[in-house]
Every structure is written in structure tokens, then in C-alpha cells.
Structure 1
Amino acid sequence: MWFLYVLSWLSLLLQVAFVTLAIAAGLYYLAELIEEYTVTTRRVIKALIWFSSVVHVGLLLFERFPALLVASGLLTNLVYAGLLPAFPGVPASPAALLACLLVVLNHYLAFQYFSEEFYLFSEVLAYFTFCLWLIPFAFFVSLSAGENVLPCTVQPADDVVSNYFTKGKRGKRSGILLIFSFLKEAILPSRQKIY
């Protein structure tokens, strides 16, 4: 009896490891796509903001959600839309800080509401996915896309083009892609060619 119990825990650990690896690979692929197609990513995030706003209005009209919860969600979406003109470089501006604070506030209001009202777990998960997590996740994954844009200013006596090619920055990554590359090399080290 104890042998199967131990095997079940070992299989659970193995499954968690595989799921974690699959999520990391998916995030790495998404970060690569976002870095390559920043204009399309901006359009997708804009469509997600509109979709989330429609969901909030639908929850107010059809499900009788509290007006404060819906209003804070719509205000957050408005702040997200204000971040889009500077995309892919999410600035360290008051708007970005306000968006982070509103995410925390929305989570607090949602936890408070769902602790008082009974909903199925799948319904709560749907609310959190479409109204709270989808857009911040899209901004989070796209953080590395803004690091590879050309510089806007030139330092005195600094030639940007020749400096770029002489330092060999073409193969380097930074930000979230650097982390994913490091994890990929740590888990699956590449083979060295022997001549």
C-alpha cells in the first residue's frame, strides 16, 4: 500500500516538472514572437483591452456585479490603453505605477466580492483570467521587446552604428529573454562541436 502512495507522489513531482518546463518553453516562444512583431503585439493588447472592457460591462449588465468592481476594472483598462502609445517600451512612468497599483486594488476587490458571493470555481477563474490577468500578462511578457529598439539619443563623440557593430551586441539578449536563455542552457545545455 505504501509503495503505490510513494509512486503517486513521485509521479506528481515529475508531472509538475514537465508542466513547468512546458510553461517556460511557451513563455520563451511568446517572448520571441513579441520581440519580432511588436506592432502586431500592440494591436493584440489593444484588442484584449477592448475585450476585457466589454466583459466588465457584460458582468455589470447581466450578472449584476458591483459597480465599484466594474468601475475599477474599466479604469485599469483605461490606464492600460494609456501605456500603449509608448509600447514596446513600457515606461517607468506614473501611468505604469498606477497600473500596478490598480491591479492590486482589483485583486483585493475581487477577492472581497467572491468571498461574500458564491460562484463556481470555473466562473471565478474566468473572471480572474479575462478581467485581471490577461492584459498584465501580455505587458509582462512583452517587457523584453522594448530593450532591442534603437537608441533615441547619441552621446557626444559616440557613433551609434559603429559602436553597435564593434561591440557585437547582435547575439546578446537581455531582460526576460536572457533569463529564459539562461534557464534553457541550465536545463538543456547545448552540445559543443568537436573538430
Structure 2
Amino acid sequence: MNFLHLVAYGATGLAFCFLVLSLACGLYYLAELVEEYTVYTKKVIKVMTMVVVAIHFLLCIFDRLPVLQLLFSVFCHGVYSLNLQTFPFIQLSSLPFISSCVLVFVDHFLWFKYFTRYYRPFMDIASFFGICVWLIPFTYFISLSANDNALPLSDPSAADMIPHQQKTGLFKTLFGFLGIKQQQSQQDQSFSSQSFDLQQPSYHNIQTPYNTNMTTPVSRSHYASNQLQNRKAL
């Protein structure tokens, strides 16, 4: 073994560490995005669920995957969507959440058993597991962090009106670039500037008693000295 192999092993370990840190940073920014835009997140999860269910039906038509397992996966995604009724308040002890956790592993085990018996390319298997099996549960897993930071409002549409801490992140910057809530932020800035102008006092028209009290004695003494000079002259 030469020294170059040792350098290659060290570089591989360093690349693995960078990969883990990148995944951690990505999860952090995704969680921050979910906390900031809870209403948009709920809509995105609905659309993603419908797209995944449509992919299941297309796989049944074109790729001839087993119908029963595809129907079971569609049923699993229907159970996942029950968590949207109280989103972002997901109760960890509720029946929909516990059923979703159990169905995720059952669905994964069934499809893993199927692909071990029938050969498919690795990229096809990885794409199927990433989109059709793990995508929606992973989205709910990231959304659990919004449960602790959301307020119990009666109107879910007012959740995004709550002022948040100004954080600059990758996904927040992307949403700002796409124009989401840009008009609202401009209105908030204009309102804050107007309130600051109203609170700021004007010092131009204020006359302090010091000036009034000082000018009066000076003028009186000057007038008295003029009278004394006039009397001496007479």
C-alpha cells in the first residue's frame, strides 16, 4: 500500500463528512421554511400527495407493477393525508400519526420484498423508493418542528401573518426571489416607517423655559440702564 491510497481514504472520509453536514444544513433550512410558511406547506403537501398517487396509477398502466401493492400504497398515502386536518398541529399520540408510522415501514417492507424477487435497475428502484415510498412521510417528518412554533389560531390562514424572526436562509431566499409574500413584507416595512415617523417628536417648535426666562431679564436690565443714562443726562 502506497501513500496515495492513504490520501484517497482520507479524502473519502472527508467527503463523507461534508455530505453529512450538507444533509444536516438542508434539513435545517427545510424545517425553517416549514416554520415560516405553514399554510403554503400544507398546500404543497396536498399537491405532492396527489402527484405521488397519480404516479402509482401510471406505474400500474405502463410498468405493470402489482395492482394490490400499488393500491396498498395509495391507501397508505390516504392515511398520511389525515394528518393534514390538524396541520401543523400533529399529535404524536393520535391515531393517524401512529398509523402513518406503522404503514411507512409496512409499505417499505412489501416493496423491498418485491424488488428482491424481480430485477429492476438500481436507479429505478432508488427513484421509486425515494418518491413513491419515502417522500410524503419525510415531508411530514420535517413538518413536526412547526408544531412547537405555531400558535393555536382559529383561522389557519392567519398563521403566516405572525411576525417571525428575521432569518436569512437558502430556501427563504428562494421563496423571496419567486415573489412569495414580497408584497406583504413591503407593506410591513412601510407601516413600520410610518409608525416611526409618528413617534419621533419635532423639536423645532418647542420653546424651552430657559430661553424665555433668560431673554426677559436681559431686556429689562438693558431698559433700566437706558433710563439711568437719560436721568444723568438731564
TM-score for both structures, normalised by structure 1? 0.75
- Structure of higher CA gyration radius: 2
> Do the aligned residues in 2 keep the contact of 1:72 with 1:102 (CA within 8 Å)?
no
Match of 1:99 in 2: 100
Match of 1:189 in 2: none
Kindly provide the amino acid, as one letter, of the partner of residue 136 in structure 1: P
Distance 1:82 1:57, change over 3 A: same
Alpha-carbon deviation of 1:151? 4.7
SS of the residue corresponding to residue 65 of structure 2 reads: coil
Kindly provide the amino acid, as one letter, of the partner of residue 131 in structure 2: F
Percent identity, aligned pairs only?
Answer: 39
SS of the residue corresponding to residue 119 of structure 2 reads: coil
State how 1:111-190 maps to structure 2 within 5 Å: 111-151=112-152
Spell out, residue by residue over 1:35-92, the C-alpha distance to the aligned partner (whole angstroms, 9 max, x if none): 0000000011111110110011111111111122101110011111111111112122
Alpha-carbon deviation of 1:149? 2.1
- Structure 2 distance, partners of 1:20, 1:144, is 20
- Structure 2 distance, partners of 1:10, 1:143, is 36
SS of the residue corresponding to residue 69 of structure 2 reads: helix
Gaps in structure 2 of 5+ consecutive residues: 154-163, 166-234
- Structure 2 distance, partners of 1:20, 1:128, is 20
SS of the residue corresponding to residue 119 of structure 1 reads: coil
- Structure 2 distance, partners of 1:10, 1:104, is 35
> Do the aligned residues in 1 keep the contact of 2:35 with 2:150 (CA within 8 Å)?
no
What is the count of residue pairs matched by the alignment? 154
- Structure 2 distance, partners of 1:151, 1:113, is 44
Alpha-carbon deviation of 1:2? 2.1
- Structure 2 distance, partners of 1:43, 1:84, is 9
Kindly provide the amino acid, as one letter, of the partner of residue 117 in structure 1: Y
SS of the residue corresponding to residue 90 of structure 2 reads: coil
Match of 2:53 in 1: 53
> Do the aligned residues in 2 keep the contact of 1:30 with 1:141 (CA within 8 Å)?
yes
Kindly provide the amino acid, as one letter, of the partner of residue 56 in structure 1: H
Gaps in structure 1 of 5+ consecutive residues: 153-169, 172-195
- Structure 1 distance, partners of 2:98, 2:13, is 37
Alpha-carbon deviation of 1:150? 2.3
Asked if residue 20 in structure 1 is aligned to residue 20 in structure 2, the reply is: yes
Spell out, residue by residue over 1:126-163, the C-alpha distance to the aligned partner (whole angstroms, 9 max, x if none): 100111111111111111101112258xxxxxxxxxxx
- Structure 2 distance, partners of 1:78, 1:15, is 39
TM-score for both structures, normalised by structure 2? 0.63
SS of the residue corresponding to residue 118 of structure 1 reads: coil
> Do the aligned residues in 2 keep the contact of 1:79 with 1:95 (CA within 8 Å)?
yes
Match of 2:87 in 1: 87
Kindly provide the amino acid, as one letter, of the partner of residue 61 in structure 1: I
